[in-house]
Amino acid sequence: MKAWKHLGVVETIHEEKEYEYSSSTSPSLSPTISSPPTPLHTRVQAWSLAWGQKTDILISVHGRCFHLHKDALTSRSTYLKRELMGISVFTLSPSLKITAETFALVADFCYGTNIVITPFNVAALRTAAELLGMTEPNNEGEENLLQITETCFYRIIAVNREYALIVFHSCLSMLPEAETAAYLLSRCVEALSSVEDDGNGHNAACFDDVIPMSPEDFLIVAESMHRRLTSHDVLYRTVNLYFKGYSGKLTEEQKTHICNSIDCNKLSPQLLLEAVQNPTMPLRFMVRAMLMEQLNTRRSILSATDCTQPPRRQRIINEHPTTLGAILQRETAARQAAHLKAAMNATSSRIESLEKELSVMKKLLNDSETQRSIMAGSARSSSFHYGGGSENKIERGDRGSASLRFFVRGGRRSSSSLEASSTDLAETPRTRKNMRQRLIYGLKTAFRVPKLSASKNESSFLKQSSIKAMANDCGAAVSGKNLSRMAKTVGKATNIVWHKCSVEKCDRQGLLEQKGCVIWITGLSGSGKSTLACALSRGLHERGKLTYILDGDNVRHGLNSDLGFKAEDRAENIRRIGEVAKLFADAGIICIASLISPYRKDRDACRALLPERDFIEVFLDVPLEVCEARDPKGLYKLARSGKIKGFTGIDDPYEPPVSCEIVLRQKAGICFPPCAMAETVISYLEEKSYLQA
């Protein structure tokens, strides 16, 4: 890294020494000898004289105090407009990483000063403008600070490599805010990577200073580079440099998370081959690079072969591009089709045997009916009656349909069961018993699919489908007596029956190529539940998976609009959401429920609604003070002032999970970005095979 003192840049210093000052409306007021006048001090005095107002707010920034006017600040900053309401003393949160020098420049700008922006302060000012909401123009309609710093940022990093490196260095001390708020670091990387190589073939060498970064900060940088760079060669070299130079210990999981930001499709062939043989990289990334290398080789071979094929063959290949996923999908489909065909052939042959046995039983039943009619000498109805007409023949389904028809009598279906009453066939009890046993044995034998190479699930699915088809084709009617036995009482509802459908959860999951489940995100207000839910839904959507979010606030707009925030209302709110989430999971959809759900018993009740392992509890373990510092809705402030009662974390308890599936917490006082936390949850889903049917 070249020394900055050789650069053609003049560092402009226009901020005062550390001291406290105040202003008043008196024109004779002047600072003491120990506090010489400064540009900001002069501006404050001029404002007091012009508007006839004294300073009405004391702002402390990293131990330095600024006596300023609320009107001047709130007219240009939405953040300060919200925070300074009704107070006279305010401390700027250290988590924003806005230094006293940077805030002094921001205050200068609020008072109308034309501040000087250099490569040394543009990143700090651009980040502060984003965090403080400096989006408001002044009364003359001039540009706001965010627009000014954004324009200067682009101009500075586009001048030359040295200026871009200065900005890059200044961003490192402001991570993660510099990246999460304004994407400054990734844009510096983009500008540096667009500059021609300096001759050594390693543009990534300019990033030597990223080596001391923590893995959490470097992950943010890598993810930003993943989003912005069209070629990932520079990203791969930077990651490789970081793995080799990092002084601490990197776990395999940390390396895998970082390498997930590298898209092997965007690597050049030379670097892709290097990645396959690089022992520094994690095993999962090397396997992924190896598969991509093989796929590229296959494509090259097919491209060379296409040149010698006739036009018709070329057109077919273009219409059906060959990819690794398509090849595996076609092979799986062909294997499943072969298994199903073999199973259906076996079932068809067994149904033919059953039909032959039914013909024999028909003859026996006809003989028995004739004998009974002669002996009884009456015209009473019988369970089985046959004439000589064609309308009294046994109907059967098409070949291989695995279904039976009820016996037809008088042009309609008989509601009698196959088992005759003891009165009707009292004359031949042994014959009746033998027929019953043979019928039961035939039904069991017909639908016992032989052991094939197909999987256990396919065989079970085939048997269930055959039995369901038989029941549907037979048109079996449930008698009033049986229906009354099936009826149940659930809650306040009486005489209700659960109606099953032939399309079940496994069928819907097979259609969606995923497994339905409920991801229950719990945590304090302001911990980032909704943000994580949206990032998780976006990540799964990009992988072709169907999701739906049940947000605690959104559901109260409709389904739960009749509920308040008492303990019993909260329990009912969670119960309803749990029932809806259960329906989504049963539909094969990945349902993401994000709500505080403070009580452990309510969460456990929702877990009990779903099958084992289909309820995935994600705990955002964010400290109360961090949530209260964020306070995006201003609820903590209202709770502290007593305007909200029963607020979770303040005057109402939150019971953290005891044994949840995933815990997301800070490391070294730094929260992971939402996309990184979402990837953690997605990795869990992949490990547990929820993203495949």
Reported as a single tens digit per residue, the pLDDT across 385-408 is 444 444 444 444 444 433 333 333
The residues near 666 (Cβ < 8 Å, ≥ 6 apart) are 621, 622, 623, 626, 672
pLDDT tens column, 314-361? 444 455 555 666 777 777 778 777 777 777 777 777 777 777 888 888
Q: Which long-range contacts (CB under 8 A, 24 or more apart) does 133-141 make?
A: 133/77, 133/78, 133/79, 133/80, 133/81, 134/76, 134/77, 134/106, 134/109, 135/78, 136/75, 136/76, 136/77, 136/78, 138/75, 138/76, 138/112, 139/75
Q: What sign for the dihedral angle of Cα 167, 170, 174, 176? A: positive
Q: How confident is the model at residue 430 (pLDDT cuts 50, 70, 90)?
A: low
Task: Give the whole-angstrom CA distance, residue 677 versus residue 665.
Answer: 9
pLDDT tens column, 475-490? 444 444 454 455 566 6
CB atoms within 10 A of CB 378: 8
Phi, psi at 531, each rounded to 5°: -65, -45
CA 466 from centroid of its chain's CA atoms: 37
pLDDT for 565: 83
- Crossing angle for the helix pair 184-194 and 215-228, nearest 10 degrees? 60
| Region 128-153 average pLDDT | 82
Higher pLDDT, 1 or 236: 236
Task: Give the whole-angstrom CA distance, residue 426 versus residue 429.
Answer: 6
Residue 58: is its pLDDT beyond 60? yes
CB atoms within 10 A of CB 469: 15
Task: Give the whole-angstrom CA distance, residue 138 versus residue 565.
Answer: 42
Task: Check: CB of residue 424 under 8 Å from CB of residue 383.
Answer: yes
Q: Which of 396, 387, 316, 662 is nearest to 517 (CA)?
A: 662
Task: Give the whole-angstrom CA distance, residue 315 versus residue 318.
Answer: 5
Q: How confident is the model at residue 439 (pLDDT cuts 50, 70, 90)?
A: low
Task: Check: CB of residue 415 under 8 Å from CB of residue 477.
Answer: yes
Task: Give the whole-angstrom CA distance, residue 555 versus residue 553.
Answer: 6
Phi, psi at 617, each rounded to 5°: -95, 125
Q: Which of 243, 337, 255 is nearest to 288 (CA)?
A: 255
pLDDT tens column, 550-591? 999 899 999 999 998 888 888 999 999 999 999 999 999 999
Q: How confident is the model at residue 434 (pLDDT cuts 50, 70, 90)?
A: low
The residues near 210 (Cβ < 8 Å, ≥ 6 apart) are 172, 218, 221, 238, 241, 242
Give the up-direction half-sphere exposure of residue 648: CA atoms within 13 A in the CB hemisphere: 21
pLDDT for 470: 45
- In a 3-state reduction of DSSP, which class is residue 11? coil
Residue 39: is its pLDDT beyond 80? no
CA distances from 360 to 118, 350, 365, 367, 481 (A): 100, 16, 9, 11, 32
Burial of 286 (0-12, 13-18, 19+ CB in 10 A): middle
pLDDT for 315: 47
CB atoms within 10 A of CB 401: 15
What is the DSSP secondary-structure string of 608-623?
Answer: HHS-TT-EEEEEEE--
pLDDT for 246: 83
The pairing of beta strand 89-91 with beta strand 412-413:
unpaired
Q: How confident is the model at residue 500 (pLDDT cuts 50, 70, 90)?
A: confident
**Residue 597 designated active-site:** yes
pLDDT for 414: 38
Give the up-direction half-sphere exposure of residue 458: CA atoms within 13 A in the CB hemisphere: 17
Task: Check: CB of residue 255 under 8 Å from CB of residue 282.
Answer: yes
Q: What sign for the dihedral angle of Cα 159, 162, 167, 168? A: positive
CA 371 from centroid of its chain's CA atoms: 72
Task: Check: CB of residue 635 under 8 Å from CB of residue 525.
Answer: yes
CA distances from 40 to 44, 79, 208, 296 (A): 6, 21, 38, 62
Task: Give the whole-angstrom CA distance, residue 577 versus residue 569.
Answer: 12
- In a 3-state reduction of DSSP, which class is residue 659? coil
CA 625 from centroid of its chain's CA atoms: 27
Task: Give the whole-angstrom CA distance, residue 612 versus residue 518.
Answer: 11
What's the one-letter identity of residue 563? L
- Mapping DSSP onto H, E and C, the string for 430-443 reads HHHHHHHHHHHHHH
**For residue 176, is the peptide bond before it cis, meaning its omega torsion is within 30 degrees of 0?**
yes
pLDDT, the chain, mean: 75
Task: Give the whole-angstrom CA distance, residue 127 versus residue 174.
Answer: 9
Q: Which of 119, 132, 135, 125 is nearest to 105 (CA)?
A: 125
| Region 256-275 average pLDDT | 90
Q: Which two tokens stand for residue 498?
A: 């659960």
Task: Give the whole-angstrom CA distance, residue 445 versus residue 352.
Answer: 12
pLDDT tens column, 616-667? 999 999 999 989 888 888 888 888 988 888 889 888 889 999 889 999 988 7
Q: Which of 81-95, 237-251, 432-446, 531-545 has the lowest mean pLDDT?
A: 432-446
Task: Check: CB of residue 105 under 8 Å from CB of residue 125.
Answer: yes
The residue to which tokens 């961003």 are assigned: 171
pLDDT tens column, 207-222? 566 677 788 888 888 8
**Given 22, 224, 537, 597, the catalytic residue:** 597
Question: Residue 378 forms beta bridges with which residues?
Answer: none
